[in-house]
Structure 1
Amino acid sequence: MTLRDFFNFSERAGLLFTIEASLLSFVAVTFILCFALLKWLRGTLTSWGRRRPADASDSSLFLNLMFADLIQAAGCLFNFRWMAEAAVTGGPFCNAQAALKQVGIVGVSLTSLCIAVHTFTVLVLRRMPPKQASKIAVIWIWIFAAIIITIPHAIHKNETYYGPTVFWCWILPKWKTEQIVTEYLWVWLAALSMLILYTIMYCVMKGWINIGKSLGAPLVVLDTVESGGPSVDDLEEEKRVKAIAKLLLYFPAVYLVAIVPNSISRWLTFDGEPPPPELALFTNTIFALSGLFHFILFLLTRPVMVVGKPVVFVHSLESARNSSSTPKRTYSNSSLGHLPERYDFTGTQGDFPNISQTALRSPISVTLSSAGHSTANRSHSGRPRTARLAPSSSDLD
């Protein structure tokens, strides 16, 4: 099969599906990015001239994933022209689509990998990366994306590098090495790494793997009711932490569902023959929906970005320790796996302790609020419900 000048009706209809999927992703991620920007501007204006409270949600990597999805969706939207003209033609418009698609997919792959590493470090190793690690990672992701775009263009400046590839524009088939080095390598490296990391995380959360004291991880110290056991509310909070952590496991699933079929479709072109049109258009439609899938996961795993106020840290571990003389009981983590327990919280029933950089960096106490509740919920003994991690010596230095 060779490149044809015009698409038939079914092929143009297939392109329409890719456009609709891209539009859904584009609108979804634009909503999140605009909302996050407005929230940041509001917080900046309301706290102008005075110190802002510590915000427990550093969503740099998640927002960067949204931005990469936006670029990727924008590249797919260029298919509208090919559908209207029933053909793909070379030129600046074609080059722009190819560059956007390449930058977007590399950005999504590397950001997804960074999220996996960050989540693994926090949930399994229970170590908090440096404060600016996420922002530095974002900067390097885009520096790298710029490099893989500019260097091949510089090498092939007198040759055609991007061009029509049946239904859209991308790196021409004759540049197979460039296709692998500038995109496929990072897509599959991210996919394989995420499979390994998230498999370990799942086993740890199920309690099948317990790395325990080998990493110096402290034990959980929970306030107990007068009967000598943990309160029902404490156990409910542990379940909520575990439930949110499990939601993070859907990120590699979404990534693999979006990337693997599209990559297989592209790999079929390596023998010189393009894949069946139905397969190529279907896999690209799934690929174009990745932004919408990430948008849904973002709402589920980072709700503080779209609802409520930032979590404010209100008092230190030392004051929390001195304020209570109630005996504590120590419980092993083995039954829960290693979840992010390096924080204190006092909250209302139904609140969820935000798993965040600031909260995990130091063992301090967090007060949470939710609509409809004005006071802290108390355990059956009448004392404030708290879950606290026994600090190590380094935490108290």
Structure 2
Amino acid sequence: MATLPPSSTIYSSAQRNAVIIQVVSSLVSFNALLVLFGLMIFMKKTYTHTHFQAYFVCLLLANTMQAWANIISLGWVTRGGVQDGGLCAMQGGLKQGGNVGSAVWSFVISLHLFNLLFLRYKTPKLISWGMVVFGWSFVFTIVFIGPVAIETAARGPFFGIAEHSCWITLNYRVQQIFMEYFFEYLSVVLSFLLHVGTFLRVRGNLLCVDGRWRVRWVPFGDSWQLSLGRDFTDSAMLALAKHMVWYPVAYAVTIIPVSITRIAQFCGLDVPLWLDTLTNCIFDLGGLANVVLFFGARHFFPKASALPAFTEQRKDTARDAIVAQHGVTPFTLQRPASEMSEVSLGLPPVSPRRRTSMMSINSLTPMRHDF
């Protein structure tokens, strides 16, 4: 028979200091998230109605749940130790929900950018909102299924004392792995693969020729050849793709260290308190990392009015003849009735002589793009 979890645990002086350090880390992330939420309300709402912002707000909400769950430990510090009960169960539920939610929305953002930049598929608004509802429903289901359907009297409460705070108790080790760690690692791996594919696509390394995908590698000194496979959208979004890949990287950097210490503890190894505290602090700063990346990403978003619509390929043009020599079949863009000037795109005026020498960009249709 499994051993029932303890109803309380008393902090040693070192454990108390370690918990205080983790609470401070969570407060830093929590305050950064609050500042960002406030700025998003008052800042210029260029992307207010776009899919990316909806998903990103969901990610920030999950980060807020994580931070708040850890801030609750401040109550344990004042009491001198963790006590089982309603507050402990609430902390465990918030912690699991925030961790799983961060994994889910990190992956959804990666999937959305993959659809937009790799598949060139514009997600309808109804599907976008359906994704938001499904994502949060999945998170809440994972949280509630433990105490409702898995918890047994023999093993005790599902959410309870776990080391220096409250989470899924040690008597539910399998659930700790498959109801949280599994989703976190799956999100890291899938998000990284999606971002790498997207980056190679917009850079020109990954091409679709005659309905078949092929990879094109060129020597470092000849990387200029990749630009022949890019259309206007690829060029505009290349800098964004380079920056957005840091979201899964940042998520992996924050979660892998603490996961390693947890696996070591599962295997019966003795993890020093300072190392456990350090990895937890890194994980607790995940919200701050997303805030910093958000302010950096805003400088990489092109203006929505300058982005083109995706249309079918054009044929028998001079540009296509040149690009075909390199085995590239480009996407093309549709020219509007009244041609957009270079000034409207933020480009310097082009002289008539230089205009004739340039390969024409076949149409630039201004539109609000769904990020």
* Structure 2 residue 96 is the aligned partner of structure 1 residue 113: no
Counting helix residues as a fraction of each chain, which structure ranks higher?
2
Give the letter aligned to residue 79 of structure 1.
S
Moved more, 29-38 or 256-265: 29-38
**In the alignment, what sits opposite 1:229?**
none
**Match of 1:170, SS?**
strand
* Structure 2 residue 320 is the aligned partner of structure 1 residue 379: no
* Structure 2 residue 174 is the aligned partner of structure 1 residue 177: yes
Residues 205 and 242 in structure 1, CA contact (< 8 A), matched pair in contact too: yes
**In the alignment, what sits opposite 2:224?**
none
**In the alignment, what sits opposite 2:190?**
193
| TM-score of the aligned structures, taking structure 2 as reference length | 0.73
Aligned residues: 333
CA distance 1:290–1:146, shift in 2 (3 Å): same
Residues 164 and 170 in structure 1, CA contact (< 8 A), matched pair in contact too: yes
Give the letter aligned to residue 139 of structure 2.
A
Cα displacement (A) at 1:178:
1.7
CA distance 1:34–1:215, shift in 2 (3 Å): farther
Residues 345 and 367 in structure 1, CA contact (< 8 A), matched pair in contact too: no
In 2, the alpha carbon distance for the partners of 1:344 and 1:27 equals 45
In 1, the alpha carbon distance for the partners of 2:200 and 2:292 equals 25
Q: Deviations over 1:136-164 (max 9, x none)?
A: 21211110111112222112275311112
Cα displacement (A) at 1:203:
3.6
Moved more, 159-168 or 126-135: 126-135
Cα displacement (A) at 1:368:
11
Percent sequence identity over matched residues?
23
Structure 2: runs of 5 or more not aligned: 214-229, 312-316, 366-371
| TM-score of the aligned structures, taking structure 1 as reference length | 0.68
Give the letter aligned to residue 350 of structure 2.
S
Moved more, 124-133 or 16-25: 124-133
CA distance 1:54–1:249, shift in 2 (3 Å): closer
In 2, the alpha carbon distance for the partners of 1:314 and 1:255 equals 29
Residues 344 and 388 in structure 1, CA contact (< 8 A), matched pair in contact too: yes
1:86-235 mapped onto 2 (5 Å cutoff): 86-155=80-149, 156=151, 158=153, 159-214=156-211
| 2:244 alignment partner, one of 223, 244, 248 | 248
**In the alignment, what sits opposite 1:275?**
271
Give the letter aligned to residue 379 of structure 1.
V
Cα displacement (A) at 1:65:
0.8
In 2, the alpha carbon distance for the partners of 1:364 and 1:137 equals 37
| 1:32 alignment partner, one of 26, 29, 36 | 36
Cα displacement (A) at 1:112:
0.8
Cα displacement (A) at 1:255:
0.9
| 1:81 alignment partner, one of 75, 80, 85 | 75
In 2, the alpha carbon distance for the partners of 1:30 and 1:299 equals 14
**Match of 1:128, SS?**
coil
Residues 340 and 364 in structure 2, CA contact (< 8 A), matched pair in contact too: no
| 2:291 alignment partner, one of 295, 298, 309 | 295
**In the alignment, what sits opposite 1:263?**
259
In 2, the alpha carbon distance for the partners of 1:375 and 1:236 equals 14
Residues 164 and 172 in structure 1, CA contact (< 8 A), matched pair in contact too: yes
Cα displacement (A) at 1:367:
9.2
**In the alignment, what sits opposite 1:17?**
21
Structure 1: runs of 5 or more not aligned: 44-52, 217-233, 319-326, 347-362, 392-397
